[in-house]
Amino acid sequence: MGVFQILRKVGLGGTFDHLHEGHKFLLKTALSISEFIEIGLTSQDLLKNKQYSSKLEDYKTRKKNLTTYIDSITNIERVNIVEIKNWADMDKYAQDPEYEGLIVSQETYENALKLNENREKKGLKSLVLIVIPLIKDNENFKISSTSIRKKL
């Protein structure tokens, strides 16, 4: 049996709208397996077509909530939050040669595979992909920002 090795730097991304238990699990997992994490936080412009977009928190609020939560569980210096305005931004950050892994949900796994393909084409090492399961509520429904916005 092998010994688990802490990764130096991992990336993850998302909207992080109405920060919920699924987001917290994603963040805690990233922080538990890596010395440093970089979070790609999607810009408002990318979210115009989201369901119930009128109930979306603005970028500043989402970033503040992320920062406040992270600061409550670890040294905030272990985290860098960058704004993702388009797919090219996401791909650019994923091409960072210091990245060793990506933390993704089951829903974003396909995107992670594409990011890894792009790394390989550029001669970079493939990233370890850590897939987080969907988190369900007491009624066995997936916890999601969309369902939260729907209830608002």
13-33 pLDDT, tens digit per residue, is 989 998 988 899 999 999 999
Domains of the chain: 8-98+105-151 (3.40.50.620)
Task: Say if residues 144 and 22 touch (Cβ distance below 8 Å).
Answer: yes
Other residues' Cβ atoms within 10 Å of the Cβ of residue 45: 10
Closest CA to 148 of 6, 13, 19: 19
pLDDT in tens, 47-80: 677 766 677 899 999 999 999 999 999 999 999 9
